[in-house]
Amino acid sequence: MSDPQQGADPSVADAPASTALPERLDTSAAFALKELIEQARENAGTDTPSLDASGVTYVGGLCLQLLVASGCTLVAPSDQVKEAYAIFGVSKLLSEPVMSPEEQ
């Protein structure tokens, strides 16, 4: 009998899940966010892991800078994340286009 896993693409089966971001990303969360990004990179084995931003309710300027500088992909960004990126003029860095608050 042949192994049913033989011939399967191992990169698909071993693809790491995205790392969930905390709900509140304010100045006091910046150090923990930096560590979370470093850990996500280590776990994913890449410099640009996916970060799940669906549960984020607040993004402050310092944490937004960390996210932008990290180059990580944000998965399912919440409306608050989209708004923060638009306000800071970096919405083009999100995977889906975002209108600025003035355009809405």
93: which DSSP letter? G
Question: pLDDT tens digit string along 38-75?
Answer: 999 999 898 889 999 999 999 999 999 999 999 999 99
Which residue ranges make up each domain of the chain?
A: 17-93
* pLDDT of the residue at 13: 43
Alpha-carbon span 68 to 75, nearest angstrom: 14
Percent of the chain with pLDDT over 70: 76
Predicted TM-score (pTM) of the model is: 0.75
**100, 91 in Cβ contact below 8 A?**
yes
**Where does the pLDDT of residue 8 fall: very low under 50, low under 70, confident under 90, or very high at 90 and above?**
very low
CATH number at 17-93? 3.30.750.24
User: Which residue is it, tokens 């995205």?
Assistant: 18
